[in-house]
Structure 1
Amino acid sequence: MFDDTTRRQRAVSDLVAFTLTFAIIVSGIGFVYVSGFDALGDLRDGEKANSADRTMQGIAETYEEIHEEDIPGRSLEIELGGSSIRTVESRLVVRVNDSAPTESTMYERTLGPRALVLDSQGVPTTFVYEIGGLFRLGREGQLLRHRPTFECTDDRATLSLISLRGNISLGGQTSVVLVGQHVDEGSEKLFPGPDPSSNQYFQPTEAGNVTIDVSQMAASDAWKQYFSRSGWEESGRDGEFYCKVDKPGDDGGTVFLRRTVIELSTIY
C-alpha cells in the first residue's frame, strides 16, 4: 500500500512526464509545420525558376530558327508571373589574324550585340541570352542552357552570331507577346568579305587565327567558362580567347564570321 506522500510524488511525476511529452509533441508539430512550409516555398521558387528556364529556352530556339532558316520573324507569348525581362548593352570584339609568322591583323570589329536578361521572381536565378547562347546563372553555377553556333577545330573556326536590337524593360504579374523580326540592315557575312578600309577582298583560307574578347559581355564569366571548355585557348588577357586554324606547314585555315540582327518589340 502507498501512503499519501508516495501518491503525491507519483502524481507530480506523472504530471511532469505528461507536460514534457505534450511539449515535445507541440514542438514537433511546430518543426514539421515550419520545415514543411519552407519546403513548399522552395518547391514554388524552384518551379518559377524552371518555368523561366523553359521560357528562355523557347526564345533561344526561336531566334536560332530565324538565324539559321532565314525566317522573317516569330512571336512568343510570355507569362512573367512577377519576373522581369529586359535588354542590356554588351560588347564583343572579334579579330582575325593572317597565317604569317607576324600574325598581322586582317580584320577587327567591335560589335554591340545586346543581351536579353530575365530575372526569376523570388529566386536568385538570372537567365542571359546573348549572341545565340543562353546561360542560367544562380546557386547551381553558370549553366549553358542553349549552345551557340560556334566551332573551333585545327583548321576551321566559325562564329555565327545573333545580335539583338530594341529596348525592352518589363515586369510584374502580366503576360506579353515578344516579337522578334529579322532585320536586313546589319545582317551580313562579316568574314570573309571586303576590307572596310580598302578594295581588298579577304579569302576564308588566308586566316591563321581568330580572337574574341568577351570581357564586356553581359554574361562575361559564363562566356569565359564556355570558351575555355570548347577548344578555344586563353590569350593571357582577361576575357580574350583565340582559335588557331593554321596547322604547321599549311598556308592557312578557314574562318567564317556571320551575324544576324533580330529586332525586338512587345505587344501587350
Structure 2
Amino acid sequence: MIGPQPERSSRLDDRAVSDVLAFILVFSIIITSVGLVYVFGMGALGDAQVSEQNRNAERAFETLTVNFNDLQDGSGEVRVSQINPRGGGISVDDETQLTVEIGTDTPVSAQPVGSLNYRHEGTEISYELGAAFRADDGNSVMVRPPEFVCTTSGSGPDRAVLSYANLQSTQPSSVTRSSTLRIRATGTGSDVIRSSGTTEVTIEDSTHADAWERYFDSEGWDTSRPTSDSTGDVTATCETNGPSSVTFVRGTQVEVELL
C-alpha cells in the first residue's frame, strides 16, 4: 500500500526555492562584477589611453626635432610633420629668453626664442632651442639633445658650438583639436657668429630649466641656477679661452604653420 506523499512535495518546494535563490545570487554576482569593472576598469583604460597618447606625442616631437635640425644644417628649406593632439593643445610660444656672451660682458646674442609646446592631461612636451623635452607634474626630462658642443679636453683647441632653431609662428599660433594636425616648418635664414673667449649661455624663463641643467652638466659645461624649481633660469659656461679657441653660434629662423 502506497502512503501519502507530503514529504516529497516538501522536498520539491525546497528545491524550487533553492533554484530561485541560486539564480538571484549568481545574477547579483554578475551585476556587481560588471559594476566594479565599469567603475575601476574604465578609469584604468582611460589612464592607459592618455599615457599612450602622450607617448605618441613624445615620438612625434622627436621626429619634429630631427626635421627642425635639418633646417639648421641646410639639409632642406621646408619640412612637414604630423601629430594628432586628440584633444590636447599645440602652441608656439616665445617666453624663453636666450643670452650668449663670448669673452666680454657684452652679449653677442640676446633674444626671445620660440618654442613648440604640446599640453595634455598634465603632460607638456616641447621643442626648445634644438632639444625635445617631456615634463610630467613639473619634472622635466630631455628626450632628444640639442646640437651644442663644449670641448675643453686639452687634446686640441677649445671649441664651443651653439646651433638652435628660433621658431616664429604664423596664425594661428595655438590650436586644440582631436584630428590630425600638420606642422609646416620653413627655414628663413641663419645668423652665424664666430668669436673666441669663454662662452656663457643663459636660458631664462624655460619650463625645462632642470633638464637643461642636467644636460649641460653631462656635456662638460659649468652650470649655475638660482633656484631648484623645474621652471626658471639656467646659466652654463664653456671655458673656451685657450690658444686657438673658437666659438660658433648659429641661430636659424624657422617659420611654423599649424595647419
Tell me the TM-score normalised to structure 2 length.
Answer: 0.76
Q: 2:47 aligns with which of 42, 45, 52?
A: 42
> Are 2:186 and 1:181 aligned?
yes
SS at match of 2:87: coil
Q: Equivalent residue for 1:171?
A: 176
> Are 2:136 and 1:148 aligned?
no
Q: Equivalent residue for 1:136?
A: 134
Q: Which residue identity lines up with residue 234 of structure 2 in the other structure?
A: G
Q: Which residue identity lines up with residue 130 of structure 1 in the other structure?
A: E
SS at match of 1:215: strand
Q: Would the aligned equivalents of 2:60 and 2:82 in 1 still touch at CA under 8 Å? A: no
Q: Would the aligned equivalents of 1:233 and 1:243 in 2 still touch at CA under 8 Å? A: yes
Q: Equivalent residue for 2:77?
A: 72
Q: Would the aligned equivalents of 1:178 and 1:265 in 2 still touch at CA under 8 Å? A: yes
Q: How far off is 1:137 after superposition?
A: 0.6
Q: How far off is 1:139 after superposition?
A: 4.6
Q: Deviations over 1:80-136 (max 9, x none)?
A: 221110011121111111xxxxxx44653202221111112xx21111111110101
Q: Equivalent residue for 2:89?
A: 84
SS at match of 2:206: coil
SS at match of 2:183: strand
**Alignment length, in residue pairs?**
229
RMSD, matched Cα: 3.0
Q: Would the aligned equivalents of 1:88 and 1:218 in 2 still touch at CA under 8 Å? A: no
Identity within the alignment, %: 24
SS at match of 1:225: helix
Q: Equivalent residue for 1:263?
A: 255
Tell me the TM-score normalised to structure 1 length.
Answer: 0.73
5+ residue gaps, structure 2: 1-17, 153-157, 227-232
Q: Equivalent residue for 1:232?
A: 221
Q: How far off is 1:40 after superposition?
A: 1.0
Q: Would the aligned equivalents of 1:92 and 1:217 in 2 still touch at CA under 8 Å? A: no
Q: Equivalent residue for 1:243?
A: 238
Q: How far off is 1:218 after superposition?
A: 4.4
User: CA separation in 2, counterparts of 1:32 and 1:263?
Assistant: 48
Which has the higher Rg, Structure 1 or Structure 2? 2
